[in-house]
Structure 1
Amino acid sequence: MTQPPMPALPLPLPLSPLAAVLSMLMRSTLRRHPAILGRMGAAAGARFLIDVTNVPVLLLIEPALRRARVLPRSARPAHDAAIRGRLSAFLSMLHGAEDGDALFFSGELTIGGDTAAVLALRNALDDAEIDLTEEIAGLAPAAGPMARRLSGLLERRTGLSLHRVTETEVRE
């Protein structure tokens, strides 16, 4: 199910702290799901430009280096592959709420550059069955219950998919 259009999100934080948090989240996720890099093979060395069109920054992720860089939209960093689309499409694909192939074929997500690397990344993330809420809660276990409640509230208010969709939810 496609989410309603969401207005562009403002960026309340300076880029450096946001990049540090995203890199920490990436490192933690790769520790909790070590098969991701193995599943990606050589594509783990690629630089992926993530262009979330309704967010005022770009994200450059380098899985093998366990690094995420947040850049102003005006920057165009060197990259091997690019994925572009709305935040709702990225989150729906990550959490299994919508089929990644369908999102690409419908044009909700578009790719450029090394398509094999994009496919490797998507397949590795699908296999890992990542739940963003649980990954965030894992960064500070004592704050986990609060993170889960906040995520549920944000999900209900925004319509974004912020947790892994279960088989029961898919059937409903």
Structure 2
Amino acid sequence: MTATLPRLPPALGLVASPLPLPPANLFLGALTRRISRAHPAMLRRLGDHSARRFLIDPTDLPWVLLLHPETATMTAHRRARPPAHDARIAGPLSAFLAMIHGAEDGDALFFSRDLTVEGDTAAVLALRNAMDDAELDLTEELVGISGPLGAPLRRALARAERATGLALHRMDAAEG
């Protein structure tokens, strides 16, 4: 495992477990639509793989996420009942965030087994490459859907990043 990856406290998963999924799915849908609109090249880069259904499995959280790029949807599901999917990517939330934000190399995370892949590996590789090219910044995407709460949210996420060590924004070469 990558020694630099922080781990979420187990208590966070316990606190998050009873949360209702419908509000989470509304939020995930808004976020996914925004990313799709802001980064249309991601979908083009995926090509035929955009029709695949990716199960994102943050192993330290109580749910899994189903991403369907073609329809710009992402939904949360209880871990006990994962939906049908073409590929599964599993690992700690910190590994996903580090890969998305360029804090860790995606290939290194896969080779070190911090992230594991099952199913359509070509589709997963295409997704990773599309995300790398898009240079996603989840903080900025979240701020973008938050309206007047954007500025306070940006400050809160910066504090959360400092407190947890999670990569919550895009890393530039000087930071990474």
Task: Tell me the TM-score normalized by structure 2.
Answer: 0.93
2:23 equivalent to 1:17: yes
2:5 equivalent to 1:3: yes
2:155 equivalent to 1:149: yes
**AA at the equivalent of 1:132:** L
Task: Tell me the TM-score normalized by structure 1.
Answer: 0.95
The 4+ residue runs of structure 1 with deviation greater than 3 A are none
Q: Which residue pairs with 2:85 in the alignment? A: 79
Residues matched between the structures, number: 170
- Match for residue 128 of structure 2 among 122, 129, 132: 122
Q: How well do the aligned residues superpose, as a CA RMSD in angstroms? A: 1.2
The sequence identity of aligned pairs, in percent, is 53
Q: Distance in 2 between matches of 1:51 and 1:134?
A: 23
Give the conservation status (yes or no) of the 8 Å contact 2:6–2:166.
no
Q: How does 1:29-108 map onto structure 2 within 5 Å?
A: 29-108=35-114
Give the conservation status (yes or no) of the 8 Å contact 2:56–2:66.
yes
Structure 2: which 5+ residue stretches go unaligned? Answer: none
Q: Distance in 2 between matches of 1:74 and 1:114?
A: 22
Structure 1: which 5+ residue stretches go unaligned? Answer: none
**AA at the equivalent of 2:9:** P
Cα deviation, residue 66, structure 1:
1.1
